[in-house]
Every structure is written in C-alpha cells, then in structure tokens.
Amino acid sequence: MDFVKVERGDDGVTVLTVDRQDKLNSLNPQVVEEIGQALLELQEEPPRVIIVTGAGERAFVAGADIAVMNEMSPIEAKRFAELGHAATALLDRSPVPTIAAINGFALGGGCELALACDIRIAAENALLGFPEVTLGILPGLGGTQRLPRLVGPGIAKEMIFSGRRLKAEEARMVNLVNRVVPEGEALNAARELAGEIAANGPVAVRHAKAAANKSQDVDLVSGLEYEADQFALLFATEDAREGMGAFVEKRKADFKGR
C-alpha cells in the first residue's frame, strides 16, 4: 500500500496511519481502498484495539482530494461514496474498539473517518467540520448519518448546513470528541487509552462493543435482550473464569482471549 501504514504492537494495539502528507493526508479512491484493505486484513488476525491517525501534525485527514473530485462524473462520485461507506463500515463494525487520534485538520472525509471510530481524541490544534456545502456538495462518506446520531440532529444540521469548522474544545463540548489533549499528544493519549482497553478481557470487550452498537439499531427492549444474551455467553469463556477468579484471589488477571 502506498498511503496507509499498519503498525502492530506487542501489546495488542495496532496503529493505522494515513500517510499522504504532501496532500494533508486527503482521501482519493486509492487511499480509501487502502484503508478498507488494511482493515480487512486486520480482521484475519484482529488486534485488541485499532488506532487511526494521520501522519504528521498538520492533518489527521484534511478531507477528500478536491482536485480529484472536481473531475468525477456522478457515477464516479457514487462509486467514491460507496468506497467510503465500505471503509468506514469496517471501522464502525470492527469487532474490536477503534480510536481516532486527531491531529490537525479533520474536515469532510477526515471527520467522517473519525466519526466511524468508537472514540475520538483530539489535539488542541484539531479542526473538525463539514465544509462540503461551501463546495456545492454534501458529506458523502457517512457524515449526514453518523453525525446526528453522535451530537444530535440540531447540532449536526447546523454544522453540515453552515460548513462551520469547530476547534477541538468546542468539538468536545458538543460531544464530537471525547477529550482534548495538548498539541502533538493525540497519538500518545490514544495509545495510553488503547493500552488500558487492551489490558481487559478481549472477548468481553468485543462483546461489549457489539452490544453497544446494537443500541443504535434496535429498540430498548430488543437491545436489553441482546445484552442479556451476550452477558450469558461470556460465562462460558475461559477469560470470564480467569477474570472473576483473579478478583476473588486478589491477583492480576491473565486473559488469553478465549
């Protein structure tokens, strides 16, 4: 892959980096395909946590490559949107937790990539938003669907209709990002959180993510039934016995992911 790097750590944390710094890590069809390819390959031997970030400190992903989009026909634009939907769905529905470490610009497609992650950590210099309407188009890689679910329809519509960009602290105030850290520290903060998550029972974390995701798709009663099923299933795992046994015996649990 030319623009996506994957770094697997011994601690179960994998970092996926979009590296196209001369274009502020902007997305074109090849970059989006490479993100999807990398995520598919990670499913073959899943880590415990995936961090998504952009190379350098200027941009997470500055957006889609406007010069490339300017030459697209409607059919090509539809294909680009579908590629984006496929890639972000792999993040959204990844069996393991995903964290966006947002450094610098996260606009348009970059913000949509971050929205597909479970957790977003932004550096103080981060700038998030959807400027598509200023170009005569709309967010096409999931922004109109994921943003209202995260921040509520009113805030989402204001952001999308106005094209206004939010600084990191304002993004935190509307729940677009989980936390704000000093400039240059987004990836380090994401690694620290990922380490905390990776230290827990990996099977439990995966089932917990599945249950939390289910809440977006079904009514409360159905969601509670699903939660109860997942809760019960975990009692058949070695990790559950190890975790609860370690607590009773006052020692650190040694989870094997089984």
Q: How far apart are the first and last CA of the chain?
A: 32
CATH classification of 4-198 is 3.40.190.10, yes or no?
A: no
Residue 217's pLDDT is 87
Q: Is 141 helix (H, G, I), strand (E, B) or coil?
A: coil
Same fold, 4-198 and 202-248: no
Residue 230's pLDDT is 93
pLDDT exceeds 90 at position 257 = no
Q: Are 166 and 115 in contact (CB under 8 A)?
A: no
112 in active site: yes
> What is the CA angle 62-68-71, rounded to 5?
145
44 in active site: no
What are the tens digits of pLDDT across the range 17-55? 999 999 999 999 999 999 999 999 999 899 999 999 999
Residue 57's pLDDT is 86
Q: If one looks up domain 202-248 in CATH, what number appears?
A: 1.10.12
Domain segments of the chain: what residues?
4-198, 202-248
Q: Which of 112, 169, 196, 238 is catalytic?
A: 112
What is the arithmetic mean of pLDDT over 232-254? Answer: 90
Between the alpha carbon of residue 203 and those of residues 49, 176, 209, 223, 243, the distances in Å are 12, 28, 10, 19, 11
Residue 242's pLDDT is 85
pLDDT exceeds 90 at position 10 = no
Count other Cβ atoms within 10 Å, centred on residue 228: 11
Q: Are 75 and 38 in contact (CB under 8 A)?
A: no
Residue 1's pLDDT is 84
* Average pLDDT score, the chain: 94
Q: What is the pTM of this model?
A: 0.92
Residue 66's pLDDT is 92
H-type alpha helices, 8-105: 29-44, 66-69, 74-92
What is the arithmetic mean of pLDDT over 112-134? Answer: 97
Measured over the CA atoms of residue 44, residue 54, residue 79 and residue 162, the dihedral's sign is positive
Instruction: Supply the DSSP symbol for 64.
Output: B
Q: Is 250 helix (H, G, I), strand (E, B) or coil?
A: coil
Instruction: Supply the DSSP symbol for 22.
Output: G
Q: Which of 76, 132, 227, 242 is catalytic?
A: 132
